[in-house]
Structure 1
Amino acid sequence: MESILGAAAITGLVLAGGRGQRMGGADKGLQLLRGQPLAAHVLARLAPQVGELAISANRHTDTYAALGAPWHAAVLADTLPDFPGPLAGLLAGLQASRTNWLLAVPCDSPWLPADLAARLAAAALAQDADIATVTTMNAAGDVSLHPVFALVRTSLADDLAAFLHAGERKVRAWYARHKTVEVAFADERAFYNINSLQELADLDRA
């Protein structure tokens, strides 16, 4: 068991392979916030926390490759057809990773914390977990799980492949098969995800 998990032991994966249905089919990661694509904001925040970077994308792969060029980020397409969801992107990342751990984040959360990798890694090692994910609590005391932010052992790739090939798609159902630790973060805004073009326009004017 690892005693410490530094940035070099983690591959970062930006999940940008969805249909963008709530944005009218637009490629969400390429929509602009303050003059930069959402995925570019996420890449810039994630890059200092990991050793290598990859982008899960099924459209506009040349554009994503250009966004990731400063960090030599690989662009990975789903190996399953018909946009089956974030687990398909995660599988591509797990299969391509050259490290023992993969940190997946969505492309539409441009304020992810600078200590995301460090805190998830510390929790995973402390509890000998296979997956570490994120929770937040709002002012009313309601807890929210943010499962697409996750640090995952890359040795789980075969199990995830079998899960998906069986027709399963739910992220939490797959996590339930493995030892998973939930890490509480205080700042809800850090995990805010932008779901519509109107939300994006409102934030751009703020």
Structure 2
Amino acid sequence: MRSGLILAGGRSTRFGGGEKSLKLVGGRRMICRVVDALCPVVDELVISVRDEQQKDLLFPFISGYYFAYDEVQGIGPLSGILSGLKRLKGDYAVVVACDMPLINSAAVRLLFEKALGHDAAVPRHEDGLIEPLHAVYQRGPMLRAVEESIAAGESKISAPLKRLKDVVYVPDDAVRAVDPELETFLNVNRAEDMEKLRLKK
């Protein structure tokens, strides 16, 4: 069973406020595009949000999916990963951010294939940067790694990776085979990033 976790609990401070995940990209809400990309690849989907108030904002656009709420405040995405992994049932889960509206279903499927038999499959770019929020994890080991990282006072999204014993790093060339422009990794951090998307779509 393959699971999907979309992290939507960020406060969009760099974007300038407002519910970033509901911004329109090509006429569709950003989070809806992410949901549509994951649904063909996963058997279940959970949306991680800050609280009930945020769920109420998103629910009209993505009803029919499970929601998970942050258990720990002030530690960023790790809190969403913690609550989301606890809610999921699959052996492997793809974890993505809600601000990646060009996520490629084939790229996600590739990561699931690469992760099989390992603790994780994480994209790594030619400059060495990794994509922990566009990666597939074996749920059990990753949940334990996240819990241990939080207990140790670590909040960096890469912290749990150091606690996993068997991580497969997937190079750009492998992803380009299914997404030549690597658009799947494009994320919207600031309002000006929306212009990049308009040029692409």
The TM-score with structure 1 as length reference comes to: 0.83
Change (3 A) 1:62 1:170: same
CA deviations 1:135-190 (Å, max 9, x no partner) are 344xxxx4542121121122132331232132111122210211211112223222
CA-CA distance at 1:194 after TM superposition: 1.1
CA distance in structure 1 between the aligned counterparts of 2:99 and 2:35, rounded to whole angstroms: 11
CA distance in structure 1 between the aligned counterparts of 2:26 and 2:90, rounded to whole angstroms: 33
The root-mean-square deviation of aligned C-alpha atoms, in Å, is: 1.9
Q: 1:63 aligns with which of 45, 48, 57?
A: 57
Partner of 1:28: 20
CA distance in structure 1 between the aligned counterparts of 2:94 and 2:37, rounded to whole angstroms: 13
Tell me, yes or no, if structure 1 residue 182 matches structure 2 residue 169.
yes
CA-CA distance at 1:192 after TM superposition: 0.6
Q: 1:43 aligns with which of 35, 39, 62?
A: 35
CA contact (8 A) 1:135 1:143 kept: yes
CA-CA distance at 1:89 after TM superposition: 1.0
CA distance in structure 1 between the aligned counterparts of 2:199 and 2:136, rounded to whole angstroms: 33
CA distance in structure 2 between the aligned counterparts of 1:106 and 1:191, rounded to whole angstroms: 10
Change (3 A) 1:67 1:136: farther
Between the aligned residues of both structures, percent identity stands at 29
Q: 1:147 aligns with which of 111, 126, 132?
A: 132
> Any unmatched runs of 5+ in structure 2?
none
CA distance in structure 2 between the aligned counterparts of 1:202 and 1:189, rounded to whole angstroms: 11
Q: Secondary structure at the match of 2:113?
A: helix
CA-CA distance at 1:201 after TM superposition: 4.4
CA deviations 1:87-144 (Å, max 9, x no partner) are 211111110011111111111111112213321122122xx3111111344xxxx454
Partner of 2:6: 14
| 1:194 alignment partner AA | V
| 2:100 alignment partner AA | S
Q: 1:91 aligns with which of 78, 82, 98?
A: 82
Partner of 1:120: 111
Partner of 1:167: 153
| 1:97 alignment partner AA | L
Change (3 A) 1:190 1:117: closer
Q: 1:76 aligns with which of 68, 72, 92?
A: 68
CA-CA distance at 1:50 after TM superposition: 0.3
The TM-score with structure 2 as length reference comes to: 0.85
> Any unmatched runs of 5+ in structure 1?
1-8
| 2:149 alignment partner AA | F
CA contact (8 A) 1:194 1:200 kept: yes
